[in-house]
Structure 1
Amino acid sequence: MRTKVNRLLLALAGLLLIVAGGATLAVGLGVKPPSWWIYDGRHEVLLTEANRTRWRGEGWWWPVVIAALAVILLLALWWLSAELRRHRLTALSVDTGDGDGAEVRGRAVEDALGDEAERLPGVDRARVLLRGRRSSPEVRAGLRLEPNAGPRETLERLVGQGLRDARGALGRDELPAEVVLKAARHKAERVS
């Protein structure tokens, strides 16, 4: 939910900036602006000399304005980078037991866990994601259960079999997991 809200806010802020910049450019190129627009013609400036020099006698004004704009810019860039950052592990560090290490593709681990989860009785579909860090991965699994499946039994089998095998294969004592169970929906059919 938070990611959707963040992306929506970023899209709205970007759209607002594009519209304002495009409208300003259009007025600068000679398009007649609407009566409510902040300036009237292509030779008019956004900040008049009176507005620019109004606070000139105050030594604190321009440094505060520049600092505030810099903070806003840094926060916006941080927000954008947080949205563009990958939320999925691309590789995991594996302890091979010989003092060296190995890397396993995150997608391969996700596929193996997903295939094993789909083989469990009562599981219609499974989707597995690896998150966290290379040294401490976390599993997020979404299972769609068939109508006759028992959620408790399915979860116990996944933790007891699938995650145990994954911990052993990756050489880890623990592998935290979040499992979301959903029931499969079937369309009603007419019986005659």
Structure 2
Amino acid sequence: MVREAMALLVPGPTDLPGEREPGAREADAVRYADRLLGAFRVDPPLIYAVGSGSAHVPLSPEQRHGWLRRVGELQAAYRDGTALLDRLADGDFAAAGVEVRHRALRDPRAHAFRDLLFDHAIEGTYGDPVYRGRPAPGRGTGVTPLTVPQHPAGRPAHPDHATGTGRGSAPYGDETAALLRDFTDAARQVVLGGTDG
């Protein structure tokens, strides 16, 4: 069910005819969410990866406490959210038609869970493949290459967004965090047709 919801939120060629780039289904983004929700099934937990391999860093006691709490909250959100999407999709989200799934995801009662799914679909699709685990032998990573955005002629590039100053400044004071925030906001607007609700 989570795979189907993520595929609607970040569609690829399988889910949106004419789409040329891989989406959440092709990138196996659901595996990212599954590994995050089950991060503490192994030790060290699957929280902080080391390099491009499959090793993970042991957590300090404070980190462990914080992440156990956060993962527990995410597990509860997924339990409640998937049950809600099933109810909103006439009993079975995964078996429902695409229109019914879209209706369920756009329902105001599902907005918080939809936003969480969207964030995880983006992280799982475009993030480091190590957080999805190693792909099966003979299978590609499914990572969609990102390119530097180009600005139309005559329109300012607004580099102040990334520096944390000026119009639309980020409170973070960190270029990477500001860019991630702007990317996530823009991606949500594309998926939701220009609005967040």
Decide: shared fold, TM above 0.5. no
Of structures 1 and 2, the one with the larger relative CO (CA 8 A, separation 6+) is 2
Alignment TM-score, normalising by the size of structure 1? 0.22
Q: Name the structure with the higher helix share.
A: 2
Larger Rg over CA atoms? 1
Alignment TM-score, normalising by the size of structure 2? 0.22
